[in-house]
Structure 1
Amino acid sequence: MNDPASDPLRAKQRLHWARAALGDAAATLQRASTDAGFRSYWRASSARGSHIVMDSPPSLEDVRPWLRMHDLLEPTGVRVPQVLAREPEQGFLLLEDLGIPTLARQINEDNADDWFEAAFDQLLRLQAIDVPEGFGVFGEALLQRDAGLFEEWFLQRHLGLQLDCGEVERLQLVQRRLMDNALAQGQVLTHRDFMPRNLMPVGDALAVLDFQDLVRGPIAYDPASLFKDAFLSWPLERVDGWLARYHARARTAGLPVPAWPQFLRDADWMGVQRHLKILGIFVRLRDRDGKPHYFADAPRFIRYLEEVLPRYTELAPLHDLLQRRIKPAMAEKDPA
């Protein structure tokens, strides 16, 4: 799929709108970043300084859900980018420039403890928000869709695997256990992509980005996302320690977390559910959306699965499938 941001007509509209919003006919735009969807971000330089223009083509990605979530989070103290001008019908927003780069490029072994404490500050504020009536739910339908992404896109389309009836049954059993675990957890406002790439350092605090898909969902989902993302990997023992620290702070804040052993299991299982989904999404981004670079991180998610699956006998059928069918198929398709 061609990049919609490169369309000459759209580029002309974007520059015209930015100059009008900034009140500077000499303002210029330079590509700042993209994401996995159809939005693009542009750094605007003008007499007013540096700002960010979000371009979300209305026919491809409606910007109004992003605005609704922004306007839900901002009054509660969750740090989000300030919106300085908006034209949702055209798909343009003018935002404050939070700078570069994201936390994913600034965090390291030495500063991770402090940065994850700052991430907890934002996450606990977000999870404490009362979920509005009629809000989207990370429930059975979304969980079933996620399970289908792994099977359709990763197993079938990428690896070309045709599972026999017994393998299908065992995989579905594990998927059912993962879904039941997610549905049984305490439910809170859930970002669904709360990871260092979507956190922006602002002084010694963090701003939260890419929040348009907020739903009511399981409390362990966002902590699992924070430590098991597509761009950074940490030793499992250190991840367990950070999860314990989050758990202690969440209990103090009165959030609906269970006792620690159950929470660790919830986070591990939520992570497995998410890893399977992401493997499917990476293939879909590559094959359907023309964004192949995400797939380079697929082996990272296989390693995440290999770390955690041996902890739980209930997930043994997936571990067996991974070792016996998935890893050999991957080695055959992409030999080192």
Structure 2
Amino acid sequence: MQNPSIAVNMSASDHTPKQNIDFTPELRQWLRRELSLEELPALKPLGGDAGFRRYFRFAGDIRKDGRALMAVFAPPDVEKNEEFVAVSELLTTLGAKTPEIFAKDLEQGFFLLEDLGSQHLFDVLSRDNVSDLYGHASELIISIQQGSQVSVLPAYDEELLNREMSLFGEWFVPKLLGHEVSRDEQHMLDACFTLLADSALQQEYRLVHRDYHSRNIMLDDNGLALIDFQDAVWGPVTYDLVSLLRDCYVYWPEATVYQALEVHWQKMPTELKGEMNFPQFKKAFDWMGLQRHIKVLGIFARLALRDNKQAYLNDLPLVIRYTLEVAEHYEELAEFVSWFKQRLLPLCEQQDWYQDYRQAGEQGAHLSRESATLPFVGANDLLLKESS
């Protein structure tokens, strides 16, 4: 098999790929040196993620300490390589499994990692294992939060919370839908975003993975393992839980989400609850999810328009569904809901990617309402979106 020659861009101005920077020979030379091999097996590229990292498996069986290895190129100008190493070490000390780093060159962006295989949580869920897997994933959040008593991470502060939500008004509304936000509309959005940010800031703060969902949780022989954690921050205790239960790729009906939320609450120690009772925790959870999903609408639009990752557009209807279904519960957000439905939904309906958001996540599901059993949450209606 001929070795791939892959070109990646490092553009500090817009963080988008350039052409004709071939890193493969340097990566192969580095791997030969690290593995003490005269001849290196072919590198087989794997599918990427939302970032610019590139993953490779070896055509031959390359192992260290009995574990399979994989190579990674993470362009140092656009990827958080130092953070990846630091957070990996931190999560390991907190008892979470991450891919072991066997070798690294941060300057070039080269890594030799433990290969955890191809079993993402999203891929293996079935009616027989969904209760155990989501129960373990929920408990792992609590375990990490209990251990992370002192912050060594960037703060999920007001500036960052608002900067993330601003992606909605920068990418999703004007660039994807073609609607220019008026001054009055911007005032309304600012007021909405302030409410959501204030709610987040009032919670207890602990380590936040920041992308704790079914495609970043993997299964290996020893249980759950975490990947894509380099963006971790010191943030609100509800963030990773809402990322899991209102996953942009997995549909949980509302009743199921709230049942799972109550189970999680009952397992939480007092120090993680802070001053909140359960109704307050439920509202904080809902509003944290809104902050995340408003941000994601902007991020998915940017991935499609700037980075040519069109598949993310197919996930927008489910994100819209979660956004509107949750916001409709709160009088404080009524103006936002009305504006979204009257101004934005008609523009969404003109897009090729759009499907009725009220059914989003239900078509192509490989766990049905009839087949899934969820004793973890006391319901039987988990649905998964078809992988895009």
In the alignment, does 2:29 pair up with 1:11?
no
The answer for the alignment partner of 1:26 in structure 2 is: 40
In the alignment, does 2:94 pair up with 1:97?
no
TM-score computed with the length of structure 2 as normaliser: 0.80
Q: Deviations over 1:94-147 (max 9, x none)?
A: 111111121111124442221111112322222123354563111111112112
**Contact 1:79–1:122 (CA<8 Å) still a contact in 2?**
no
Q: Deviations over 1:287-308 (max 9, x none)?
A: 1122221122111111112221
The answer for the alignment partner of 1:83 in structure 2 is: 101
Change (3 A) 1:204 1:114: farther
**Contact 2:28–2:40 (CA<8 Å) still a contact in 1?**
no
**Contact 1:122–1:208 (CA<8 Å) still a contact in 2?**
no
Q: Which residue, 260, 265, 281 being the options, matches 1:242? A: 260
CA apart distance, 1:72: 1.4
For these two proteins, the number of residue pairs brought into alignment is 334
Change (3 A) 1:204 1:72: closer
**Contact 1:27–1:45 (CA<8 Å) still a contact in 2?**
yes
TM-score computed with the length of structure 1 as normaliser: 0.92
SS in 2 for 1:196: coil
In the alignment, does 2:221 pair up with 1:203?
yes
Identity over aligned pairs, percent: 34
In the TM superposition, what are the counterparts of 1:1-336 in structure 2 within 5 Å?
Answer: 3-4=8-9, 9-24=22-37, 25-49=39-63, 50-130=68-148, 132=150, 135-203=153-221, 205-251=223-269, 254-256=271-273, 258-334=276-352
Q: Deviations over 1:6-45 (max 9, x none)?
A: 9673111222222332233232321123121111111124
Q: Deviations over 1:31-61 (max 9, x none)?
A: 1231211111111244544311121122332
**Contact 2:8–2:22 (CA<8 Å) still a contact in 1?**
no
RMSD over equivalenced CA pairs, Å: 2.2
Q: 127-136 or 52-61: which moved more?
A: 127-136
Change (3 A) 1:131 1:11: farther
Q: Name the aligned partner's letter for residue 12 of structure 1.
A: P
Q: Name the aligned partner's letter for residue 23 of structure 1.
A: S
Q: Name the aligned partner's letter for residue 11 of structure 1.
A: T
Q: Which has the higher helix share?
A: 1
SS in 1 for 2:231: coil
- Unaligned 5+ segments in structure 2 are 1-6, 10-16, 356-388
Q: Deviations over 1:259-308 (max 9, x none)?
A: 21111111111111111100101111111122221122111111112221
Q: Name the aligned partner's letter for residue 187 of structure 1.
A: Y
How far, CA to CA, are the matches of 1:98 and 1:174 in structure 2?
41
How far, CA to CA, are the matches of 2:85 and 2:152 in structure 1?
17
CA apart distance, 1:213: 1.0
